Amino acid sequence: MSTSETPKSEAPSQTQTPTIPPEGSPCWVEIMSTDPPKLKSFYESLFPSWSFKNLVAGDARGNDVVHYEFAKPAGLSGGIVKLPEGCTPGEQPMGKGMTVYYFVVSIEEVCANSPSTLI
């Protein structure tokens, strides 16, 4: 590896500016796991184009998270989040499997223009 290459597991510089996706596009994909580092290894071998960062123990919400970014489209990233203690995979409080978040400039505007509320 040359000195200009960064290993996949290292986080980018704090000065890096994230790419903002077009409004209405997926911007974060959250995958729940009982073992985020193990699932990181699985996805890392399955999808070599995903760029992983090291595990962040205890983020702002107290979760253990392994962040990742997709090669394309630019700006789409996500996290493998540790399930809370005592929560089995079938009892996820925010749904089962994964949760996809969509980018909007104003949630109030989106709700005002929506014919009905689904949440």
pLDDT attached to residue 118: 60
In terms of residue numbers, what domain contains 69? 26-113
pTM of the model: 0.64
Beta bridge partners of residue 69, listed in sequence order: 51, 77
- With CA atoms as reference, report the closest residue to 76 among 32, 24, 21: 21
Is residue 18 one of the residues assigned to a domain? no
Q: What CATH number does the domain containing 44 carry? A: 3.10.180.10
Let me know if residue 101 belongs to a domain.
yes
Answer yes or no: is 87 within a domain.
Answer: yes
pLDDT digits (tens, 9 = 90+) for 59-75: 655 567 888 888 777 76
Q: Report how many domains make up the chain.
A: 1
What does the H/E/C string look like for 51-105? EEEEEECCCCCCCCEEEEECCCCCCCEEEEEECCCCCCHHHCCCCCCEEEEECCC
Tokens representing 67? 């962040």
